[in-house]
A and B are shown apart, each in its own frame.
Chain A
Amino acid sequence: MNTIVLALIILGLVGAVSSIILFFVAKKFQVFEDVRIAQVEEALPAANCGGCGFPGCHGFANACVSAPSLDGLLCPVGGNQTMQKVAAIMGRTAVESAPTVAVVRCGGTCDHRPRTSDYDGVKHCFIAHNLYSGETGCSFGCLGLGDCEVACEFDAIHVNPITKLPEVDEEKCTSCGACVKACPKLLIELRKKGPKSRRIYVSCRNEDKGHIARKSCDVGCIACGKCEKVCPHGAITISNNLAFINDDACKLCRKCVEVCPTNAIVELNFPPRKVKEESLV
C-alpha cells in the first residue's frame, strides 16, 4: 500500500515539475501562426503547382494573410471563385481578374515549315535547343519534342503527332505557367481567355527579316505592318520584325486576321464568318 502511494506521489511530482517546465518552454518558443493561414489553405485547390509565384499553396496562403491587400495575388488554378472565398475569410474584397490561358505562338506545322535536317538526339526540347536551332529553317519555332507536355501537371497540353505542335486543352489549362517556363524557345504565353474563349493572337515568334522568315515558314510573321495599320484600337505593335497583339487593348474586331497575308494571326472560337452576298453572285 505504502509503495503505491509513494510511487503516485513521486510520479505526480515529476509530472507537475515537467508540466511547469514545458509550460514555460512552450511560451518561450511559441511560433505564432495566424489561424487564417490554415483556413485560406483549405480554400485553395491544393495543386501546389507554383503558378501563383509562391512555393506551393501554403506559401500562397501565407502571402494572402500577410499582404495588406489581395491586389496582385491570384491563384490561377482556382481563379476568381477561389479568390472570393479567400477574400471572405480575410474579410476583404477580391480583385476581379480576367482568366488567362496558355497559347502556343507557333503555327509552323509540318506542311508549312519544310524540314532542313533530321534530329536524332535526345527527345528533349532544352537539349535540342542547346545543340542547334531545330529541324526546320526557322530558328524561333517549336521543336515539337514536348517539354511543355512533361511540365504540365494538369494534362492540358499535348504535342499533336501529326502537326508536331503542342495543343492546349482550354478546359484543363489552369494557366499556372509551368509550360511557359519549360519552353526553351519562349513560345508559350499566358493570354486573356476572352469573352466566350474568343481570342486573337499572332501565332509566330520569328524575328527574322520578312524574306528570310517567309522562306523558312509559310505562316510566319513577315512584319509587313498591315495589321498594325488596320487595327483601329492601336493594339498591335511591331518590334524586332514581329507583330504582337496587346490583349488588353484588343477589341476582337478581327480586321487584322483578314489582312494578314501569311495567316500568321489566328482567331479562336469565333463563329464562322458570314459570306457576303455580293461574292455569291
Chain B
Amino acid sequence: MKTFKMGGIHPSENKLSAGRPIQLANIPKQVVIPLSHYIGNPSEAVVKKGDFVKVGQLIGKANGFISANVHASVSGKVNKIDVQLDASGYKRLAVFIDVEGDEWLETIDRTPTIISECLLSREEILKKIQDAGIVGLGGATFPAHVKLSPPPGKKAEILIINAVECESYLTCDHQLMLEKGEEILIGVSILMRVLDVKQAAIGIENNKKDAIAHLSKLAEKHTGIRIEALKVQYPQGGEKQLIDAIIQRQVPSGRIPIEVGAVVQNVGTTFAVYEAVQKNKPMIERVLTITGKEASNPGNYLVRLGIYLASVVEQAGGVPANTGKIVGGGPMMGRSLMNLNVPMAKGSAGILFIKAEESLRKPIQNCIRCTKCVRVCPMGLEPFLLMNQSERNMWPEMEKNRVMDCIECGSCSYTCPSNRPLLDYIRFGKTTVGSIIRNRK
C-alpha cells in the first residue's frame, strides 16, 4: 500500500467518534465571529453596530489577495465590534451578533437536492470561491483561491484531495465523506475544472475502509477521479508527504507543490467549494469533532462559525471530570486551549479532552544519540541537531540545516525516549530564522 517514503510514525488511532452522524450544534443567544481566522491579513468589518444581518451576509471584506471574506453565520443585530480573546489568549477583532431568528439570504439554495451540473467558466468559479471566503480546512487555513490560481507559467497536472485525516482522534472529515460523498465528488470536479486538470486523486488512509468503499462506488460515475487507499502513517496529511505518497514526487526544499505539478486541497474544502459554487452558500459552518477518552458523548457536530466552543461542548455532554488539558485540534498538531470561551473558527477541527494523568509532560532527560528523531522526521531533518543549535542561538547554522523545511508535525518530540522538547525549540528557531530571512529581503 502506498505511503510517503521518509520517516513517519503511527500513534494509536483512538477514533472514538468514528461513525457518529453529524449533528447540528445549537445556536446560542450571541455569536462572536473573528475577523481573522486564517493566515494572511485580517479582513475589514463592513457592518456597524445596530445593523441587522442575515445568514450568509458579508461582514468582513478581504484585505488583499492573501485574505478571505468573513460572513455572518447567524441572523441578528450586530451588538458591537470589539476585541475577543482567541484560543492562545491574545486579542483579535471580532463581530458580536445577537441572534434573532434564522433568516437566510435569498440567494442561498437551502434545498437538499444535489446539483451536479456546473456550466460556469473558470473565472466565475474562482470568483465564487473567493467571495465565499473559503480557506483550506486542513488546519493551515490558507485562502483557497490563492492555491487555485497557480503563478504564471506553472501548470497543474493533478489535483490531490487530502482526505487522509492522519491525526488521531479526529473524525470530522471521515464522517463528512460518508454523509456528503456525492457533493464532495462534484466539488472535486469543479476544482478540476478550475485548474484545468484531467485527473484527481483522493487520498484516504486505510483505517477508513467504509469511506474508501463509499467514495470508490460514487467515483465510478465521475471521469478522472480515483480513490487512493494509503497506509496509515502520520503525518501523511502534510501536503508534501501526501504528494510523495500519491504521485511519488518530492517537492524541493523551499518550493511549493505546483512546482511538481500538483495542487492539494482538503476534503472539507472541497465540500465547501461545492456549497459555494452550486448552492451560493458562503463558508459559515464546519464539522467539529468533540472527543476524548473520557468524553461522555464523543461525536461530530456541524457548528456555525462564531459559536463559543463552550456551548458546543455543553451540548456534547460537558467537560469530563478528570480532564487535565483541552486541546483545540488533534493531539499532534493541536494547541491547548486556555479556556472554552473561544469562538469557533474556520480552522477548528476538533476539541479533545486529555485525561489529567496523560496531560503532563515527562521530565526532560539528556539526549542519548539514538537518532530516533532523525528516522521519523518526514522532511529528512536532524531534529536533535536543530534543537541544540536553537538552544545556542546558532541561526545561520540552523538555516543551513533547512530549519525552514520543518512542517512542525511533532513526530520527533513524540518519538524521543528522553522526552526532549524538540519541536518547541525547533519552532523557536524557525520563527527567528524566518524573521531574519524576511528582514534580509
A binding-site residues for B, Cβ under 8 Å = 116-117, 120-122, 124, 126-127, 130-134, 139, 208
Give 9 pairs: A residue, B residue, CB < 8 Å, sorted on A.
A121-B421, A122-B425, A124-B424, A126-B428, A127-B427, A130-B427, A131-B335, A132-B89, A139-B90
Name the distance in Å between A117's Cβ and chain B's nearest Cβ: 5
Given contacts A116-B338, A116-B339, A133-B338, contact A121 B88 (CB under 8 A): no
Contact of A133 among B88, B335, B360, B361 (CB under 8 A): B88
Interface: B91 (CB within 8 A): yes
The answer to whether B424 touches A134, judged by C-beta atoms less than 8 angstroms apart, is no
The answer to whether A124 touches B89, judged by C-beta atoms less than 8 angstroms apart, is no
Interface: B431 (CB within 8 A): yes
In the complex, A127→B430 CA distance in Å? 11
In the complex, A124→B89 CA distance in Å? 18
Residues of A within 8 A of B427 (CB): 127, 130
Name the distance in Å between A186's Cβ and chain B's nearest Cβ: 14
Q: Hey, what's the 0/1 contact readout for B328-366 against A, CB within 8 Å counting as 1?
A: 000000011011000000000000000000011100000
The answer to whether B338 touches A127, judged by C-beta atoms less than 8 angstroms apart, is no
18 more contacts with CB within 8 A, not counting A132-B89, A139-B90, are A117-B339, A120-B359, A120-B361, A122-B424, A122-B425, A126-B428, A130-B427, A130-B431, A131-B335, A132-B88, A132-B90, A132-B335, A132-B336, A133-B88, A133-B90, A134-B89, A139-B89, A208-B91
Of A120, A121, A122, A126, the most chain B CB neighbours within 10 A belong to A122
Residues of A within 8 A of B338 (CB): 116-117, 132-133
Residues of B within 8 A of A127 (CB): 424-425, 427-428
Q: Hey, what's the 0/1 contact readout for B399-436 against A, CB within 8 Å counting as 1?
A: 00000000000000000000001001101100100000
Name the distance in Å between B82's Cβ and chain A's nearest Cβ: 9
Residues of A within 8 A of B421 (CB): 121-122
Of all chain A residues, which has the CB nearest B359? A120
Name the distance in Å between B338's Cβ and chain A's nearest Cβ: 5
Name the distance in Å between B196's Cβ and chain A's nearest Cβ: 40
Of B88, B360, B425, the most chain A CB neighbours within 10 A belong to B88
Residues of A within 8 A of B359 (CB): 120
Name the distance in Å between A139's Cβ and chain B's nearest Cβ: 5
Give 10 closest A-B pairs by Cβ, nearest first.
A133-B89, A132-B88, A122-B424, A122-B421, A132-B89, A127-B428, A127-B424, A117-B338, A120-B361, A139-B89
In the complex, A132→B336 CA distance in Å? 9
Q: Interface size of B by Cβ–Cβ distance < 8 Å?
A: 17
In the complex, A122→B91 CA distance in Å? 23
The answer to whether B360 touches A120, judged by C-beta atoms less than 8 angstroms apart, is yes
In the complex, A52→B357 CA distance in Å? 50
Contact of A130 among B336, B339, B428 (CB under 8 A): B428
Q: Hey, what's the 0/1 contact readout for B68-89 against A, CB within 8 Å counting as 1?
A: 0000000000000000000011
Residues of B within 8 A of A131 (CB): 88, 335
Of all chain A residues, which has the CB nearest B431? A130
In the complex, A1→B421 CA distance in Å? 78
The answer to whether A121 touches B89, judged by C-beta atoms less than 8 angstroms apart, is no
In the complex, A160→B264 CA distance in Å? 51
In the complex, A134→B338 CA distance in Å? 9
Residues of A within 8 A of B88 (CB): 131-133
Residues of B within 8 A of A134 (CB): 89
Name the distance in Å between A145's Cβ and chain B's nearest Cβ: 12
Residues of A within 8 A of B424 (CB): 121-122, 124, 127
In the complex, A121→B423 CA distance in Å? 11
In the complex, A208→B425 CA distance in Å? 30
Residues of B within 8 A of A130 (CB): 427-428, 431
Residues of A within 8 A of B425 (CB): 122, 124, 127
Of all chain B residues, which has the CB nearest A126? B428
In the complex, A196→B4 CA distance in Å? 68
Q: Hey, what's the 0/1 contact readout for B291-321 against A, CB within 8 Å counting as 1?
A: 0000000000000000000000000000000
In the complex, A117→B335 CA distance in Å? 14
Residues of B within 8 A of A116 (CB): 338-339
Of A120, A126, A208, the most chain B CB neighbours within 10 A belong to A120
Residues of B within 8 A of A121 (CB): 361, 421, 424
Contact of A139 among B91, B335, B360 (CB under 8 A): B91
Residues of A within 8 A of B91 (CB): 139, 208
Residues of B within 8 A of A133 (CB): 88-90, 338
Name the distance in Å between B62's Cβ and chain A's nearest Cβ: 26
Contact of A124 among B90, B339, B428 (CB under 8 A): B428
Name the distance in Å between A254's Cβ and chain B's nearest Cβ: 34
In the complex, A130→B432 CA distance in Å? 11
Of all chain B residues, which has the CB nearest A133? B89
Q: Hey, what's the 0/1 contact readout for B377-398 against A, CB within 8 Å counting as 1?
A: 0000000000000000000000
In the complex, A120→B335 CA distance in Å? 13
Residues of B within 8 A of A139 (CB): 89-91
Residues of B within 8 A of A132 (CB): 88-90, 335-336, 338
In the complex, A122→B427 CA distance in Å? 12
In the complex, A130→B430 CA distance in Å? 11
Name the distance in Å between B324's Cβ and chain A's nearest Cβ: 9
In the complex, A132→B326 CA distance in Å? 14
In the complex, A131→B91 CA distance in Å? 14
Name the distance in Å between B392's Cβ and chain A's nearest Cβ: 11
Of all chain A residues, which has the CB nearest B364? A122
In the complex, A116→B338 CA distance in Å? 8
Name the distance in Å between A205's Cβ and chain B's nearest Cβ: 14
Residues of B within 8 A of A126 (CB): 428
Residues of A within 8 A of B90 (CB): 132-133, 139
In the complex, A124→B364 CA distance in Å? 14
Residues of A within 8 A of B360 (CB): 120
In the complex, A55→B339 CA distance in Å? 45
Of all chain A residues, which has the CB nearest B325? A120
Residues of A within 8 A of B428 (CB): 124, 126-127, 130
Name the distance in Å between A115's Cβ and chain B's nearest Cβ: 11
Name the distance in Å between B39's Cβ and chain A's nearest Cβ: 15
In the complex, A120→B336 CA distance in Å? 11
Residues of B within 8 A of A208 (CB): 91
Residues of A within 8 A of B361 (CB): 120-121
Residues of B within 8 A of A120 (CB): 359-361
